[in-house]
């Protein structure tokens, strides 16, 4: 299994580097493949007043420093085709956000870099609809594709995880990751911000691994309550080691 983990958004250079180092130590001790993630710009926040991050230029500079200092592969999400070539110089994995998974120009721009592309399945899509997304990436000759499940819209301000989705998308022939933190989100559930059910992260992560996913995506923070983005759904760093032990044992059994 591979783990993609890190803060929702870059809050500061110092805090991001500090968390990346702690995460590296945790995963390295267990000899587990680990990709560090952090967003330099959260372009889809609920409110105009919500913190978005340091922006593309400053954010990529921070991620490049973390990459070089800690020798870690880096993942972040892109929101416009115009920024792809610039950020691809630093990113090892380019992520397409769920709300943008049908934006053809963005997907093609990411695929043409030759870098691995992780596409989050839109909350509005059926898992079999991701076949068209895969075909867009493959049309460029890029076969380095990862698909991520992050829940499906279920009425207003709610998401539900259908574990069949992991099996269906995996049948497309590419690795499938389960986003255990965004899947417990209650979009816009608190009016000006999204709510969430942090207590459901571990049960759903265990279920996804049992269903056969190839990796877990986890947003992590040292003090979740103070996080500047997704505070209701981000996993506490203190809870990460035990969750890792649980899912690795499940993975061993079903593998």
106-152, pLDDT tens digit by residue?
999 999 999 999 999 999 999 999 999 999 999 999 999 999 999 99
Number of domains in the chain: 1
Residue-level pLDDT at 190: 75
Q: Residue 39 contacts by C-beta under 8 Å, 6 or more apart in sequence?
A: 8, 9, 10, 53, 59, 76, 77, 229
Residue-level pLDDT at 181: 97
Taking Cα atoms as reference points, which of 214, 121, 122 lies closest to residue 173? 214
72-119, pLDDT tens digit by residue?
999 999 999 999 999 999 999 999 999 999 999 999 999 999 999 999
Residue 184 sits in which domain range? 2-254
Residue-level pLDDT at 45: 80
Percent of the chain with pLDDT over 90: 93
For residue 62, the domain's CATH number is 3.20.20.70
- Is residue 43 very low, low, confident or very high in pLDDT (cuts 50, 70, 90)? confident
């Amino acid at each position: 299994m591979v783990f993609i983990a890190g803060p929702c958004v870059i809050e500061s250079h110092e805090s991001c580097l500090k968390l990346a180092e702690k995460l590296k130590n945790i995963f390295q001790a267990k000899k587990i493949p680990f990709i560090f993630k952090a967003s330099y710009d959260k372009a889809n926040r609920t409110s105009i007043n919500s913190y978005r991050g340091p922006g593309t230029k400053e954010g990529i500079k921070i991620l490049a420093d973390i990459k070089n200092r800690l020798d870690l592969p880096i993942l972040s999400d892109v929101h416009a085709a115009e920024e792809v070539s610039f950020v691809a110089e630093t990113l090892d994995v380019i992520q397409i956000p769920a709300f943008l998974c049908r934006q053809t120009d963005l997907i093609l721009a990411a695929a043409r870099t030759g870098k691995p592309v992780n596409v989050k399945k839109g909350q509005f899509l059926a898992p079999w609809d991701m076949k068209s997304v895969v075909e867009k990436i493959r049309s460029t000759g890029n076969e380095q594709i990862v698909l991520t499940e992050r829940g499906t819209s279920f009425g207003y301000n709610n998401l539900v995880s259908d574990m069949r989705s992991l099996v269906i998308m995996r049948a497309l022939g590419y690795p499938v990751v389960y986003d255990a933190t965004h899947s417990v989100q209650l979009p816009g559930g608190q009016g000006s911000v999204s709510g969430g059910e942090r207590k459901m992260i571990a049960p759903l992560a265990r279920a996804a691994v049992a269903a056969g996913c190839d990796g877990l995506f986890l947003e992590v923070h040292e003090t979740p309550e103070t996080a500047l983005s997704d505070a209701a759904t981000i996993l506490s760093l203190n809870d990460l080691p035990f969750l890792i032990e649980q899912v690795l044992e499940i993975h061993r059994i079903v593998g």
